[in-house]
Amino acid sequence: MIDGSRRKAFLKALGSAVFGAVGFWMTGTSGTSRHPTWEIHALGWFVVVAMAANLVSAMLASVQPNRLVIDSTGFRVKRCFRSECSYRWEDIDRLWVFQSKASRTVRFVVWTYTPESGLVTPVRRGRDYDGWLPAAWTLSVDEVAAELSAAKTRALSQG
């Protein structure tokens, strides 16, 4: 079992509070020759609302962290205040760590389904994966991917 990281949730909450404060500051500033006051205020309020939602999400994740349970049949993910999702090893084709092209720090575990599973979606909305895990675990993303891959190999070699 791998739990979500309360430390990472706290850092997300802290970053959200800082960016939210910057957005709030923007709502009180005056415009410039390039950007009128109403544009800066609108952007500031957008930042405030977005960071408030992010802050609430981070606080909830620190109260009830995500949980990943790996066993011989597959893995289950329990996300903060949501129902549990189960995935069977025989339905998973490939697991790997996805890295965003825009940022080296945006990385998470993704997978594709086997054609036999019937779960492959014809349109993946521009992605080359079918499913993904949230990133804030007590282990690194690479360690989570390694744990999942090793468990899948063990399970499929036994049966």
What pTM was estimated for this model as a whole?
A: 0.69
Beta strands in the chain (DSSP E): 2-3, 67-70, 74-78, 84-88, 92-99, 107-113, 131-132
Q: Tens digits of per-residue pLDDT, 8-46?
A: 888 888 999 999 999 999 888 877 777 788 888 999 999
List the 2-3 sheet strands across, edge first.
Answer: 2-3, 67-70, 74-78, 84-88
Question: Who wins on pLDDT, 126 or 57?
Answer: 57
Give me 5's structure tokens.
């990281």
Domain 67-158 fold is PH-domain like (2.30.29)
